[in-house]
Structure 1
């Protein structure tokens, strides 16, 4: 055996290392949180920003930064405004006492205007820039007069320019200060907020524009570091924007620094373009910009100084923790970090929503179980109800009888059982047998009086039982419905939890494949690539109805994905400059062609039979026939109402068996009349041709497979007869080219010169030579009417469905460069 590696760690060492890493990570996070608390919540950051802005100047004369910063902080963080004011005054004091006096004066004027007009003007945010404008103009004018004794047009112009700049900076700082003064997480920056933040940070850096260490400008170092940091975090667009804005503000602060504008802008652009090379790539862009601008530019600083300043900025970038750049990128739209952050946030929202939906599902299931338990309790309370019944009878008859003690003490069981038997017979048969009467007369001296009392009390008992039965049925309906809703919500929660995948690579591959064959494509969005559930949206310019979606794009997608893709929906532009949108989805393995024919009794116009053909969302196709009791308008309403309820319940996602039970409960509770409906339901899965048959009081169905005819039958009473019943489901595997034939009772019932109608129907179906569904339906109805001598004795309906493989109109187009994606 070889030597054990010195880097090998046993399980105990690994656990210790993991524990150590966890402790260190927790320590760093705790330290960062404390820093954030001190700098942001306690106001130390506002003090530092104020100190630097108090030193900032434009054209070495104007100081438009101080009051806008204080006004923005005063409006947004009034409780920390004193930190900003102290920082501004101390910063300006490092320049001169005159500047400190000016800063204090304009802040005082601003507070006076604000206090005076606070109760008069309601729109504080809109009026703040005007307060700043007036305060700056009046303060600068007053100091000029105090210093020089008079006022010239030049000084008035300078005061006006400073006031205008302060007005604009107030609007900018009102958008940028909240970003730096709150502890909000995951806040995305709009474009204008990002620019305002850059202006604020660049303005802060002008406060150190005259600081130098070993002949190196600290302002240039931090500006370049600032630019490459944003280029590394957010790319070329943001990097070049930061460079332009920072260079422009530096140029306004000091004309000698105007040459930095081109260097910073170029460095931000090149650094962002070389972002894939990580920090070294971004720094390479900075050095290239420094060399080019240093050699061919107009900068007065020596090239060696520029290279050293860029080197120090590069060193700062290397020392910058990855978490800082990631945090910056997470707040800037368009970056991968921002997209990942948004996806993580959306996933969290989906998980929370799914959890809530699951909780609601559990609530509905618990309520359903509670109602079911109450129904069980009603069954157990039946014996108690009988005791109450007999107690009421004995109170009216036996209480005053002289043989009470003999009957209810000495012969309690015989008396109780005899009276219970009398009650049961009267309740079920409405009469008593001679044997029961004789036995009761031999036992009771007031037999007739007791029987009359039982009959009288039985009327109230039966009414009470009927009411309880209706309550039980109502609860049963609620149980079924709540159970169905609970299942739907549970399925919905599972759908919510399905995280949308990122298909950028596949979208790019597909775009290249379509462009390679000469198609002009604007945009591709892939929502799902799961087999059988493909969902793709493609936008392309005006096509003038050439049919390229069906003839070219769908066949190409079919070859790429390895399954048949069809055009689900197509929206063509109405004018040449418009954009077309097409949705492509997986094709179903099977399709259903249908044919239907019906005839009303005695050739009438309204048939009591109803039929429905519906495509469900879950790649299923449903066919149903309902026969209302009787004929005519009333039977038609009954059958149509049954089918309408069925359609709505199935479309909601509730299972077939629960749907049938719910319809039965609704129809049995809505009226006291004896009104029943049959229902013949077939649900075909279009992916595997598996069929479910649910027959509630309906006729058999038949499947014609070549020369063979298969009978499908189930034993369920019509809807509305029984208050509670179990639904029998028959599962049958259908095959391509099968004919499914569903009929109403009028086809098989009635007078015909045959004895076995099932054999007659099978023979008729097997003799039909055509496989067209509509022709089959027409021929069967015609043969049935002919067999009755042309008489239509009942409503008749024939519904025929043909199962076929779903074959695309166009063959797939081979894609040379890409194949099926995993």
Structure 2
């Protein structure tokens, strides 16, 4: 047992030395897996921009996780175009990844270059492969639409990935969107991930902004669910669920959950078969659990502002300018000031006089007063 713990400590030291965060690597792998499997309608526009932007801005260790997830997702996804194997998508992703990595400096200077690179590579590689393989005519409209969507998605991907340590909230939202479209068809008992995520989003939006925004989110989720056959009934169900969930928003999370469960029970009459009804109730239950977890741990949940206690004592501070000279100096040239801006907000201004004496003190005091007036 001592040998096992010693090996574990050595492995932890190696991982820390490589600066590898297992949670971050898992998130990147899931991001790549969802982008590889993701379909928007009958098109696959997520893989190309994810490969390009990840190659440009991710650390090499993260690039390995991203590329591995994308290759697995592409291999598990059926081909979008009839008669065209999934190998063309794998070839496209690998080509974009290594070209973007090779010309990283040139592409990171301008987001416009990234957009044209992603759209152009997606169009050229797939068109050449289809033309050589002798695919029947008629694929061009779908190919043009897919390339245009890939280029369009490169814009938000570029904004988020360029500074992803500072865009954690947007990165998490992007991850949810890709999981919704890429892994939404995976089963969770009698339901699937898409149903659970959609209802969780409705709870968050309705709890943060009310029933109107909840209904609007339901319409968007229903229309972009990826199934044209069930789009209208799904849209109506999501819109009604979002509306009823936000009616009791003033009661806090218990009111939102109560409205959501009441609407789920009311609309459960539309499920004719027992299996569909059980899947509906299971998805609603899991969504409530995810909503409670997100309310507790996620920092950007809307409507969760921290309320100040009514017994907080007001802050007091002396307002003025203080200076202290160094030994053998008549007057210090540095100045600082503490001023009231508004209730419970103070301004500390510090100015370096660049020397000592009356002139340096006067100049630094002017800077302090100017900053106070500007703010």
Q: Same fold (TM over 0.5)?
A: yes
From 300, 310, 314, the counterpart of 1:328: 300
* Offset at residue 45 of structure 1 (A): 0.9
- Tell me, what secondary structure is at the counterpart of 2:287? helix
Q: In structure 1, what is the Cα distance between the partners aligned to 2:21 and 2:152?
A: 30
In the superposition, relative to structure 1, how do residues 86 and 234 fare at CA in structure 2: closer, same or farther (>3 Å)? farther
For 1:461-610, list aligned pairs within 5 A.
Answer: 492-493=337-338, 495=340, 499-500=344-345
In the superposition, relative to structure 1, how do residues 122 and 170 fare at CA in structure 2: closer, same or farther (>3 Å)? closer
- What's the counterpart of residue 436 of structure 1? none
* Offset at residue 273 of structure 1 (A): 4.0
In the superposition, relative to structure 1, how do residues 298 and 128 fare at CA in structure 2: closer, same or farther (>3 Å)? farther
Residue 51 (str. 1) matches residue 33 (str. 2): yes
The normalised TM-score by structure 2 is: 0.67
CA RMSD of aligned residues (A): 4.5
Q: Is the 8 A contact 1:228 1:282 kept in 2?
A: yes
Residue 312 (str. 1) matches residue 286 (str. 2): yes
For 1:407-418, list aligned pairs within 5 A.
Answer: none
Q: Is the 8 A contact 2:55 2:100 kept in 1?
A: no
* Offset at residue 257 of structure 1 (A): 5.2
Residue 271 (str. 1) matches residue 116 (str. 2): no
Q: In structure 2, what is the Cα distance between the partners aligned to 1:177 and 1:269?
A: 34
Deviations 1:233-280 (A, max 9, x none): 555566455444433331x35643553333334433433442333333
- What's the counterpart of residue 113 of structure 2? 127
- Tell me, what secondary structure is at the counterpart of 1:493? strand
Query: Which one has the bigger strand percentage?
Result: 1
- What's the counterpart of residue 283 of structure 1? 257
In the superposition, relative to structure 1, how do residues 170 and 214 fare at CA in structure 2: closer, same or farther (>3 Å)? same
Residue 105 (str. 1) matches residue 77 (str. 2): no
- What's the counterpart of residue 440 of structure 1? none
Residue 224 (str. 1) matches residue 199 (str. 2): yes
More RCO (CA 8 Å, sep 6+) = 2
In the superposition, relative to structure 1, how do residues 493 and 123 fare at CA in structure 2: closer, same or farther (>3 Å)? closer
Q: In structure 2, what is the Cα distance between the partners aligned to 1:321 and 1:198?
A: 12
- Tell me, what secondary structure is at the counterpart of 2:185? coil
* Offset at residue 47 of structure 1 (A): 0.9
In the superposition, relative to structure 1, how do residues 88 and 101 fare at CA in structure 2: closer, same or farther (>3 Å)? same
From 57, 61, 68, the counterpart of 1:86: 68
Q: In structure 2, what is the Cα distance between the partners aligned to 1:121 and 1:188?
A: 23
Q: In structure 2, what is the Cα distance between the partners aligned to 1:121 and 1:217?
A: 39
- What's the counterpart of residue 141 of structure 2? 157
* Offset at residue 281 of structure 1 (A): 1.7
In the superposition, relative to structure 1, how do residues 99 and 366 fare at CA in structure 2: closer, same or farther (>3 Å)? farther
- Tell me, what secondary structure is at the counterpart of 1:328? coil
Residue 62 (str. 1) matches residue 37 (str. 2): no
* Offset at residue 188 of structure 1 (A): 9.9
Q: In structure 2, what is the Cα distance between the partners aligned to 1:173 and 1:259?
A: 31
In the superposition, relative to structure 1, how do residues 130 and 328 fare at CA in structure 2: closer, same or farther (>3 Å)? same
Q: In structure 1, what is the Cα distance between the partners aligned to 2:57 and 2:221?
A: 25
From 168, 183, 190, the counterpart of 1:215: 190
Residue 171 (str. 1) matches residue 155 (str. 2): yes
- What's the counterpart of residue 729 of structure 1? none
Q: Is the 8 A contact 1:227 1:268 kept in 2?
A: yes
* Offset at residue 119 of structure 1 (A): 7.7
For 1:402-801, list aligned pairs within 5 A.
Answer: 492-493=337-338, 495=340, 499-500=344-345
- What's the counterpart of residue 305 of structure 2? 337
Deviations 1:25-84 (A, max 9, x none): xxxxxxxxxxx94323xx32111111122112233x421111112222223325322321
- What's the counterpart of residue 366 of structure 2? none
- Tell me, what secondary structure is at the counterpart of 2:40? coil
Q: In structure 2, what is the Cα distance between the partners aligned to 1:208 and 1:119?
A: 33
Q: In structure 1, what is the Cα distance between the partners aligned to 2:71 and 2:206?
A: 34
* Offset at residue 283 of structure 1 (A): 2.0
Q: Is the 8 A contact 2:32 2:73 kept in 1?
A: yes
From 126, 132, 136, the counterpart of 2:122: 136
What residue ranges of structure 1 are gaps of 5+ in the alignment? 1-35, 341-346, 375-474, 502-651, 653-822
What residue ranges of structure 2 are gaps of 5+ in the alignment? 1-19, 309-313, 347-368, 370-375
The normalised TM-score by structure 1 is: 0.33
Larger Rg belongs to: 1
Q: In structure 2, what is the Cα distance between the partners aligned to 1:230 and 1:54?
A: 28
Q: In structure 2, what is the Cα distance between the partners aligned to 1:245 and 1:338?
A: 30
Q: In structure 1, what is the Cα distance between the partners aligned to 2:22 and 2:246?
A: 33
